Structure 1
Amino acid sequence: MEAFSFATSSALNEVTVHVRIDRLDGHQKPIPYSVLLKRPDLRHRASNINAHSELYVTAQIWADSKPLTVPVQTRYRTFKNARIWNEWLSLPVTYSNLPATAQLAITVWDLSPAEDTETNLHAVPFGGTTIPLFDKDNTLQKGRQRCRIHRFKAADGLSSTTTPWVIPPARKSRKDVVKEDVVDAQILEMQRLEELLKKQEMGEIAQNQWLDGLVFKKMMQIRKDALKAEAIALNQQDKSSQNGDVYGPGEGPKELYYIDIELPRFDHSVVFTDVEYPPPPISNLKLSADAQVTLRPPPEVSFGPGININGHGYGDADVGRLIRIYDPETGRADNPAENKHRRLMRSQQTDSLDRDRKPDVDTRDRINNILTYGPLHALKDEERDLIWKFRYYLLRDKRALTKFVKSVGWGDPMEVRQAAPLLDRWAEIDVDDALELLGKQFDHPVVRGYAVERLKKADDEELLSYLLQLVQALKYEAAGEGDDSSLARFLISRAANSFSLGNFFHWYLMVEISDTSNDQAPQHRELFAKVEYDFMFELEKTPSGVQNRTLLKRQGELLTILAKISKDIRFDRNSRPQKISKLKKLLADPKNELLSFDPLPLPLDPSVLITGIHAQDATVLKSSLLPMVLNFRTSTNSSYPIIFKTGDDLRQDQLVIQIIALMDRLLRKENLDLKLTPYRILATSTSAGAFQFIPSMSLAAACTKYRGSLLAYLRANNPDETAPLGVRKEAMDAYIKSCAGYCVITYLLGVGDRHLDNLLISPSGQFFHVDFGYILGRDPKPLAPQMKICREMIEGMGGQTVQAQSRDSVSGGGQGMGVGSGGGAGAGGGRDGAVVPNPNYIAFKEHCFTAFSTLRKSSSLLLNLFSLMQEANIPDIRVEREAAVRRERGAEGL
């Protein structure tokens, strides 16, 4: 299908409707004396006295049988040889306000000394026509139009108009067809020439001045002849009503007139688009599950005898007689009466009474129940009033602060004056609650400033765990605060005094600045650019600021060169071995200066200083985007391999790895090391990035190489004949723990699109996931399981069940255990033993339970981190921003 460029009518919100009245064509026959004897007033009409009398034209827009504008008319003009106005009329309405049924009603008025009985004016309709402004394809009509004039009728503009601009041809008999062949040929020739003239005016046919003049004269003669022939054929065709349309019964023959008009031309077609109004509000009244609501019976309404309701009989039982009326006040966010009541209850006079107020037993239980609500739970009005009433009693409970902030009307200056001093007196909150106060719903500077003061007590390592979300939280600053907010000043200050923080802060900002998509608001790009500028300005004030800024600049140069090489390799049409050879050649090119350079902090891990790249160790992976595997040489003469790729936005993977690293940190705090592998990843732009390369093998490759057995892979890389299943105990323990950890984490994050190619295992037995293209419950596979565990993973543990050793094998000194269903062959075992649960599988389930229970304690922290990412330009969050956090498993399971 060819590309079709068009504009929408709603975009023309400043362009008014215009129409040019060009000329009137037709022939008027003299009135017989017999008619003048019956109608003596006709002899005084201007058009009957002179064939080129002064007429004027009015234009008006109608829609749905109703006028939309007042009529506008042409100026007074005298005619000599033809009635040619050549005048543009401007109608008082814009194209964006036109409905799809808009029509242009054009009436030509004749002057008469006798007043018209209907209009009481000295003007009678000479004729009228009605033309729709949008065609059948809802495309705005443009250019020259030739409209049929209906004599002695004013244009009505109705939906079923009696003055259409085009009259469809009537069905003809064979005799009529034979007689009118000549007439039809003249009319078709005239229409063909008019189409060619319209194309020339639109610029589709080149102009030739001397030839166009001759053609135009000939065309006018053809039009004049065709008009006469059409009028004659019209009168011959309808002999029965020959005199009816003009002067009344028996008063004269029909006359044929056309008026030429011109509509504005646009560069592209203009398609009608209606205004999308927001849906009517839905009541925000929320009833509890056990609430019993008794509605009054519907009123008795009498519709009158013989009226059929909804196509059913009046006495049908299914048809209710309840009339539903939309109430515009339904669904109001605020009730004026309740607002007034709240202001009175929270006035200064009640403040002294609330200081010593203490709840009773039932009220205390209700308050404790409110304090258990998660960060996504919205408080009801009565719950907000309850927290406010006992705010002094709750000062020592740090859990109540966020609930108290939600209970305050921060738009009311009186409440702000009472609530602001209490924040400093409240018990110190945890970091996860401080992150909640930086969310989208809290935009008051007092609240956000308090949250920043709490974040100042976090060390650099903890702050680095939340830095990605804190950068996104800059978008939620109130209007007028922007880059000069307390959060921006805090991040700039901490990043300027810590190179590790400054490194990631710089690259997080650069990615947001480079995001020029429609999903990134321009004001947000300007905000991040201003914060980056202030960061660089503040960085230079520190003792090592100039040197650090130079290092960040060198990092940018290095990544720019790598991105250019990656694009050259990706778009190269040669085979993969040739691409690898070209990559090594580009890396070794002295112009790129990649073999050896001064020590530079690696952007992925600033604690590692790199001094060059091993060009001969570079390779290209077998992937659609052909990522490069680069081996950096460090200052300690060790190697640090990374994967660099272009053409993909790594911000979603970066978010998932950051959450996995945070979960690993939370689990280690509880002395639970699940051998996770949160490899480092960094998006350097919206279409490029790098991540740490972990020597490993996909489960698909491992099962293929070792004949479908993951256990055989573990046994080959970690052999131990004395251990159960022939696998070294440390390796099996690492495999079981890592499987449990990633099963719980992928469940909580709703990771989708899992297959054996993005499940990896290292030679040491650590299992981990890669490629997080689907998260938060999205999955391209239908009916995908929520817990991501496959048969191959269980088989690597030895299966769900094992076969216990028989007495004969024990007395014979046999060792090891045979694998039951789901497992491979063991080191040996009795055939007569009973099937018992596999201890490894039992340990796997215990680790899953422990990991879930541990992470459940930090549910608020995880939910708050995802809440801060609602406005981030991440695919699976961008799909449905408001519901993205609720789709996260933590909102349900934690």
Structure 2
Amino acid sequence: MEAFHFATSTDLKQLSVHVRIDRLDGHQKPIPYSVLLERPDLRHRASTTDPHSELFVTAQIWADSKPLTVPVQTAYKSFKNARIWNEWLSLPVTYSNLPASAQLAITVWDLSPAEDTDSNLHAIPFGGTTLPLFDRDNTLQKGRQRCRLHRFKAADGLSSTTTPWVIPPVRKSRKDVVVEDTVDEQVAEMQRLEELLKRQEMGDIPQNLWLDGLVFRKMMKIRNEAIKAEAAVLSRQKKSSANGTENAVGRDADQELFYLDIELPRFDHSVVFADVEYPPPPVSDIRLAPDSEVRLRPPPEVSFGPGINTEGNGYGDADAGRLIRIYDPEIGRIVNPAEDKHRELMRGGQTDSLDRDRKPNVHMRDQLNSIIAKGPLESITSHERDHIWKFRYYLLRDKRALTKFVKTVNWKDPKEAGRAAPLLEKWAEIDVDDALELLGPQFDHPVVRSYAVERLKKADDEELQLYLLQLVQALKYEAPGEGDDSSLARFLITRAANSFTLGNFFHWYLMVEISDFSTDQAPEHRALFAKVEYDFMLELERTPSGSETRKTFQRQGELLTILAKLSKDVRFGGGDRPAKLARLKKALSDPRNELTNFEPLPLPLDPSVIITGIHPDDCNVLKSSLLPMVLNFRTTTPNKLYPVIFKTGDDLRQDQLVIQIITLMDRLLRKENLDLKLTPYRILATSTSAGAFQFIPSMSLAAAVAKYKGSLLAYLRANNPDDTAPLGVRKEAMDTYIKSCAGYCVITYLLGVGDRHLDNLLLAPSGAFFHVDFGYILGRDPKPFAPQMKLCREMIEGLGGAQHPNYLTFKEYSFTAWSTLRKSSSLLLNLFALMQGANIPDIKVEREGSVRKVRDRMWLGKGDVEAGREFERLIEESMGDWKAGLIDMAHEFVQYWRS
């Protein structure tokens, strides 16, 4: 059996119903003069005075004897030789919303200066027809349709319509058979030709222009003759029952037969009706999180009485033992109607005068402080909400209380929102981390988001760049309908247009989101980012150097496109790595690519660096599976190259997020005068499958251990010799190594970085230790029994051993860094909360849980002393973890066989 391809009507969600009104064919007999004398209203009808008068057509969707849409009308058109509209009408309903009983009611209207007694309009029905949109097999009708027009009737659209588009054949008497044989032959010939015309329109029969014109004219002649013959037969079948004016007009109508040709859209496959299946109502509206540890209790054991057949499906002989789940709307409700009424009464406008002077006692002040000290992920109970609202005027001086106050307000209640909004301007100025929280998905009121944006306006460009990645994602959380009036979008566009560095990253962050056509990126979000990028380009045109900036972005895009093509050629081209490297050097040196020398251009990865070309002799192809390219860019600084690694086939947005958080953490630590010599190298995703990152001259721990016979201390001693210093390593290099080890151990633990092995732990000659390749974060790891903190024996050996004073210094730096970052937990958690909707692999796994995982690693529920002891125990366990060493050995074994 051949495969049958079809689509369902519910798949056509964005396509509205269309119909093309083609032409009207028929035979109209002139009205006798005697009838015109008796019926003066017929004298001035358009169709009476002119056989090709200006008629208009209306179309309307009906279902179950009720109209679904308003009628849609054809435009005015003057006819000369035939009534041909050839006009497509779009009906205000989509195919996905059509029921199976949908019908298309089409009425042709005649014009008359005398008003119609039924409609009080200057339009009288010329004729109507009703066409079902789905046939008996529930398949959507398509293509050309020839509809019978019922004279002087408007299409009713009823289920048992009186204006059907096809008249069923009537059984003939014996004496009419001979008379009608000729007519049947003409009608059959007309139908045969129309079927052939349909096949030609569908492409089944080839076209021949000059011959088709002759055939079409002959078809029109056969059609007119068949219509006249069919009308004559119909008039003979009907008999007059009485004399009179109306009957005379009726007799004339019997001899008039009209067909309206219409065309419905054609689809590549058949479209079958499918109804929308709605889920059953829930027993409870309490929604458990996907990772919730709550487990439902097993169903209770049910005992049946004697004589009951428990093997059946219901009650009785045939229906016994069936349990029915009954929906009770009052069970499991999150919102209590009594509490809603209580809150409405308590927050009435008459209480404002009392609340202004209200002061808490000592016990209530302690409760308020405990509520304010809660983190951004902790919930607030209804009683705590009442306390915050009750003492809102007292809390105006405390900037930490604003986010808690915003959470207590029902912003969907206009009265309550109107009383709460003026207080935002009177509140003490909040910190940036609280402003970021107000831009999260749970706050969609424009007043709240506008207030948060006003706070962000006070941040300089350098600080704003640290949060830019999250602010771009926060655009997804704007309330529906706020797209053109988004305060956050206007703010970002304005600041990016006035700062080239900020605008550079803003442009590329948007371009990556626009190019994301995966199923995890909603089409409305992609359209939102495209609209913001369009508005950003318009805003640039209003600035003095905007046109030049747009050209710079265009040149950057052209350069990255060429590099992506070269990377794919290197990756998928044949040959071993030396052959690929030779092919890369040849492509870079090719004058047609214009890569060795070009006009000065800001590097997208680092706009402060102006590049002028690529040095083709210093390029390289790494041994990684994706074969990334190492390119050395010439800069405007003489004799200085900027090395960059460019890679295709991988989405670097997760690595980009981790590096951005490391950069932010480095800034937070430096504010506390703690420089841990971190190396937050630059990284930029240029699309969903390509990107670039800064190349830092270094050596992996695996390579260093292999070269220096298993000793990192020997590597440090070889690159920084000092016979007078302890361990023979220059003091500055050892200090850099100790600090950087401490910093990255803490940061990778907080971020839950996984898949740590000696090949993605790097060490620079200066002693700077750092991590690369963040393909697994937030606790995910491809290897079992992976330690929470990567502190291998090779790293300890580089410190001089666990008994050396350097190890104690390392622990002190680690604890200081962890406790410092723990104080900024709100900022870090709010940044991850804004990234919940991002299309990042390890966040998509568990969007809401991703923020909780970062929170759990900070042990915010414990005191400083207890948390400090836990952290020290974590370091000791990580240092002596034999499973980590076993994992490194297994990784080295796999790498050996791959090579």
Q: TM-score range by the shorter chain?
A: 0.5 to 0.7
Q: Is 2:411 the counterpart of 1:445?
A: no
**Change in 2 beyond 3 A, CA 1:280/1:584:** farther
User: Which of 737, 740, 743 lines up with 1:741 in the alignment?
Assistant: 743
CA shift, 1:468, in A, is 0.4
Match of 2:727 in 1: 725
For residues 497 and 134 of structure 2, the distance between their equivalents in structure 1, rounded to whole angstroms, comes to 62
Match of 1:407 in 2: 408
5+ long unaligned stretches in structure 2: 14-99, 101-131, 140-267, 290-299, 313-322, 861-899
Radius of gyration: which is bigger? 1
Partner letter of residue 389 of structure 1?
K
Cα distance per residue 1:800-859 (max 9 Å; x no partner): 12xxxxxxxxxxxxxxxxxxxxxxxxxxxxxxxxxxxx2011011101100001001110
User: Which of 779, 782, 795 lines up with 2:781 in the alignment?
Assistant: 779
- Whether the aligned pair in 1 keeps the contact of 2:822 and 2:858 (CA below 8 Å) is no
Partner letter of residue 611 of structure 1?
T
For residues 564 and 632 of structure 2, the distance between their equivalents in structure 1, rounded to whole angstroms, comes to 16
- Whether the aligned pair in 2 keeps the contact of 1:10 and 1:274 (CA below 8 Å) is no
Match of 1:358 in 2: 359
Partner letter of residue 408 of structure 1?
V
Give the secondary-structure state (helix, strand or coil) at the position aligned to 1:489: helix
Partner letter of residue 814 of structure 2?
C
- Whether the aligned pair in 2 keeps the contact of 1:8 and 1:273 (CA below 8 Å) is no
For residues 459 and 133 of structure 2, the distance between their equivalents in structure 1, rounded to whole angstroms, comes to 70
CA shift, 1:363, in A, is 1.1
User: Which of 632, 655, 675 lines up with 1:673 in the alignment?
Assistant: 675
For residues 424 and 809 of structure 2, the distance between their equivalents in structure 1, rounded to whole angstroms, comes to 46
Cα distance per residue 1:390-423 (max 9 Å; x no partner): 1000000000000000000000000111000000
Cα distance per residue 1:237-256 (max 9 Å; x no partner): xxxxxxxxxxxxxxxxxxxx
For residues 470 and 774 of structure 1, the distance between their equivalents in structure 2, rounded to whole angstroms, comes to 23
Cα distance per residue 1:120-176 (max 9 Å; x no partner): xxxxxxxxxxxxxxxxxxxxxxxxxxxxxxxxxxxxxxxxxxxxxxxxxxxxxxxxx
CA shift, 1:9, in A, is 8.4
- Whether the aligned pair in 1 keeps the contact of 2:285 and 2:334 (CA below 8 Å) is no
TM-score by length of 2: 0.63
For residues 405 and 271 of structure 1, the distance between their equivalents in structure 2, rounded to whole angstroms, comes to 44
CA shift, 1:364, in A, is 1.0
5+ long unaligned stretches in structure 1: 15-69, 71-87, 96-264, 287-298, 312-321, 802-837
Match of 1:845 in 2: 811
Q: Is 2:457 the counterpart of 1:468?
A: no
CA shift, 1:598, in A, is 1.4
User: Which of 281, 285, 291 lines up with 2:284 in the alignment?
Assistant: 281
For residues 551 and 324 of structure 2, the distance between their equivalents in structure 1, rounded to whole angstroms, comes to 74
Match of 1:174 in 2: none
Q: Is 2:644 the counterpart of 1:642?
A: yes
Question: How big is the alpha-carbon RMSD for the aligned residues of Structure 1 and Structure 2?
Answer: 3.5
Match of 1:183 in 2: none
For residues 384 and 8 of structure 1, the distance between their equivalents in structure 2, rounded to whole angstroms, comes to 51
TM-score by length of 1: 0.63
For residues 283 and 883 of structure 1, the distance between their equivalents in structure 2, rounded to whole angstroms, comes to 18
For residues 276 and 880 of structure 1, the distance between their equivalents in structure 2, rounded to whole angstroms, comes to 24
**Change in 2 beyond 3 A, CA 1:508/1:791:** same
CA shift, 1:887, in A, is 1.8
Give the secondary-structure state (helix, strand or coil) at the position aligned to 2:511: helix
Partner letter of residue 671 of structure 1?
N
| Deviates further, 447-456 or 882-891 | 882-891
CA shift, 1:780, in A, is 1.1
**Change in 2 beyond 3 A, CA 1:346/1:671:** same
- Whether the aligned pair in 1 keeps the contact of 2:567 and 2:629 (CA below 8 Å) is yes
CA shift, 1:880, in A, is 1.6
Match of 1:654 in 2: 656
For residues 276 and 423 of structure 2, the distance between their equivalents in structure 1, rounded to whole angstroms, comes to 52
Match of 2:565 in 1: 564
**Change in 2 beyond 3 A, CA 1:405/1:624:** same
Match of 1:330 in 2: 331
For residues 89 and 453 of structure 1, the distance between their equivalents in structure 2, rounded to whole angstroms, comes to 54
Give the secondary-structure state (helix, strand or coil) at the position aligned to 1:619: strand
For residues 278 and 664 of structure 1, the distance between their equivalents in structure 2, rounded to whole angstroms, comes to 50
Q: Is 2:500 the counterpart of 1:495?
A: no
Partner letter of residue 281 of structure 1?
S
Cα distance per residue 1:79-114 (max 9 Å; x no partner): xxxxxxxxx99999989xxxxxxxxxxxxxxxxxxx
Match of 1:856 in 2: 822
Match of 1:387 in 2: 388
Match of 1:34 in 2: none
Cα distance per residue 1:694-728 (max 9 Å; x no partner): 00011111111111111111111111111111111
**Which has the larger share of helix?**
2
Match of 2:419 in 1: 418
Match of 2:833 in 1: 867
**Change in 2 beyond 3 A, CA 1:701/1:12:** closer
- Whether the aligned pair in 2 keeps the contact of 1:630 and 1:644 (CA below 8 Å) is yes
CA shift, 1:373, in A, is 0.6
**Change in 2 beyond 3 A, CA 1:302/1:787:** closer
CA shift, 1:340, in A, is 1.5
Match of 2:849 in 1: 883
**1:563-582 superposed matches below 5 A:** 563-582=564-583
For residues 599 and 393 of structure 1, the distance between their equivalents in structure 2, rounded to whole angstroms, comes to 58
For residues 602 and 690 of structure 2, the distance between their equivalents in structure 1, rounded to whole angstroms, comes to 19
Q: Is 2:619 the counterpart of 1:618?
A: yes
| Deviates further, 364-373 or 784-793 | 784-793
Partner letter of residue 519 of structure 1?
D
Match of 2:50 in 1: none
For residues 703 and 3 of structure 2, the distance between their equivalents in structure 1, rounded to whole angstroms, comes to 47
Match of 2:88 in 1: none
For residues 275 and 747 of structure 1, the distance between their equivalents in structure 2, rounded to whole angstroms, comes to 45
CA shift, 1:882, in A, is 1.9
Give the secondary-structure state (helix, strand or coil) at the position aligned to 2:748: helix
Give the secondary-structure state (helix, strand or coil) at the position aligned to 1:540: helix
Say how many residue pairs are matched: 599
**Change in 2 beyond 3 A, CA 1:305/1:769:** same
CA shift, 1:307, in A, is 7.0
Give the secondary-structure state (helix, strand or coil) at the position aligned to 2:394: coil
**Change in 2 beyond 3 A, CA 1:278/1:483:** farther
Partner letter of residue 647 of structure 2?
K
Q: Is 2:485 the counterpart of 1:484?
A: yes
CA shift, 1:795, in A, is 1.1
For residues 301 and 526 of structure 1, the distance between their equivalents in structure 2, rounded to whole angstroms, comes to 55
- Whether the aligned pair in 2 keeps the contact of 1:752 and 1:775 (CA below 8 Å) is yes
Give the secondary-structure state (helix, strand or coil) at the position aligned to 1:607: strand
For residues 465 and 623 of structure 1, the distance between their equivalents in structure 2, rounded to whole angstroms, comes to 30
CA shift, 1:10, in A, is 10
**1:190-201 superposed matches below 5 A:** none
**Change in 2 beyond 3 A, CA 1:799/1:310:** farther
Partner letter of residue 747 of structure 2?
I
Give the secondary-structure state (helix, strand or coil) at the position aligned to 1:395: helix
Partner letter of residue 328 of structure 2?
D
**Change in 2 beyond 3 A, CA 1:597/1:419:** same
Give the secondary-structure state (helix, strand or coil) at the position aligned to 1:614: strand
**1:63-142 superposed matches below 5 A:** none
CA shift, 1:866, in A, is 0.4
Match of 1:249 in 2: none
**Change in 2 beyond 3 A, CA 1:279/1:649:** farther
Match of 1:255 in 2: none
For residues 634 and 687 of structure 2, the distance between their equivalents in structure 1, rounded to whole angstroms, comes to 24
For residues 835 and 288 of structure 2, the distance between their equivalents in structure 1, rounded to whole angstroms, comes to 29
User: Which of 644, 661, 686 lines up with 1:684 in the alignment?
Assistant: 686
For residues 544 and 133 of structure 2, the distance between their equivalents in structure 1, rounded to whole angstroms, comes to 72
For residues 310 and 398 of structure 1, the distance between their equivalents in structure 2, rounded to whole angstroms, comes to 66
Partner letter of residue 342 of structure 2?
H
- Whether the aligned pair in 1 keeps the contact of 2:836 and 2:847 (CA below 8 Å) is yes
